[in-house]
């Protein structure tokens, strides 16, 4: 009888270990193929994304359609954003990923910004009226943080094939493509480094909602 109980306990522990392993494998599959959750650690994308938000990011967002101007993208900054350091740390704001096993560890290589220029675009700031100009057309950016100018730093860039020009919505505090104008690559990131797009805010409870990227 005692031996039967021991055998039953062994089988029970094996079942628990197997179940936990399968759960982790399933989560890893979901994270790498479909969805992931990231923690927003800064105010660079306010008012769309607030510090402390946890956002659900779809890895399939651009499977059937190309990245467009106005899209908000989560991307891997290695080779562009991540290596370039300022006195305060990495340029832009590294996200904390639930993919770093439930958001316990930060990932300084992952960022979230808005696409302001795609291949072939000329992006310039600013017009005499103080607006961003894309391909010679002034743009009214309704998503900007209230009171922010499109850019305090004047610039003009031509976006080559396979690249993107990215900026935060809270321009006065966002370290983005503009901050890398003098660096190798000129602040442009490869479209192949885009992980996906935020589709929903899942935490805190009072801010659970779908996320839509305003186009202009």
Tens of pLDDT, residues 16-44: 665 555 555 545 545 555 688 888 988 99
State pLDDT tens for residues 138-171.
999 999 999 999 999 999 999 999 999 999 999 9
The one catalytic residue among 42, 58, 80, 113: 113
Per-residue pLDDT band at 183 (split at 50, 70, 90) = confident
Question: Which pTM does this prediction carry?
Answer: 0.80
Digit-coded pLDDT (tens) for 188-216? 999 999 999 999 999 899 999 999 877 66
- Percent of the chain at pLDDT above 90? 54
Q: Could you tell me the residue ranges of all domains in the chain?
A: 1-33, 35-210
Instruction: Note if 174 is an active site residue.
Output: no
pLDDT digits (tens, 9 = 90+) for 72-86: 999 998 877 765 443
Residue 174 DSSP symbol: -
| 44 noted as active-site residue | yes
Q: Of the listed 42, 44, 174, 191, which one is catalytic?
A: 44
pLDDT at 184 (0 to 100): 79
**Residues pairing with 124 in the sheet:** 133, 156
54: phi then psi, degrees, rounded to nearest 5: -115, 125
Superfamily (CATH H level) for 35-210: Umud Fragment, subunit A (2.10.109.10)
In angstroms, the CA 112 to CA 93 distance is: 8
């Amino acid at each position: 009888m005692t031996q039967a109980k021991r055998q039953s306990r062994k089988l029970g522990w094996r079942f628990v270990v197997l179940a936990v392993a399968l759960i982790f494998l399933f989560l890893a599959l979901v994270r790498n193929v479909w969805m992931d959750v990231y923690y927003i650690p800064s105010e660079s994308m306010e008012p769309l994304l607030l510090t402390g938000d946890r956002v659900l990011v779809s890895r399939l967002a651009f499977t059937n359609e190309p990245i467009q101007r106005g899209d908000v993208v989560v991307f891997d900054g290695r080779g562009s954003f991540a290596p370039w350091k300022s006195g305060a740390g990495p340029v832009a704001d590294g996200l904390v990923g639930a993919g770093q096993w439930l958001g316990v560890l930060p990932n300084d290589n992952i960022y979230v910004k808005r696409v302001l220029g795609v291949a072939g675009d000329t992006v310039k700031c600013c017009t005499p009226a103080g607006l961003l100009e894309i391909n010679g057309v002034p743009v009214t950016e309704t998503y900007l943080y209230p009171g922010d100018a499109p850019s305090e730093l004047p610039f003009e860039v031509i976006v080559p094939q396979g690249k993107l020009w990215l900026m935060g919505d809270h321009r006065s505090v966002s370290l983005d493509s503009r901050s890398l104008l003098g660096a190798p690559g000129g602040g442009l990131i490869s479209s192949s480094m885009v992980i996906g797009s935020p589709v929903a805010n899942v935490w805190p409870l009072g801010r659970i909602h779908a996320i839509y990227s305003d186009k202009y």
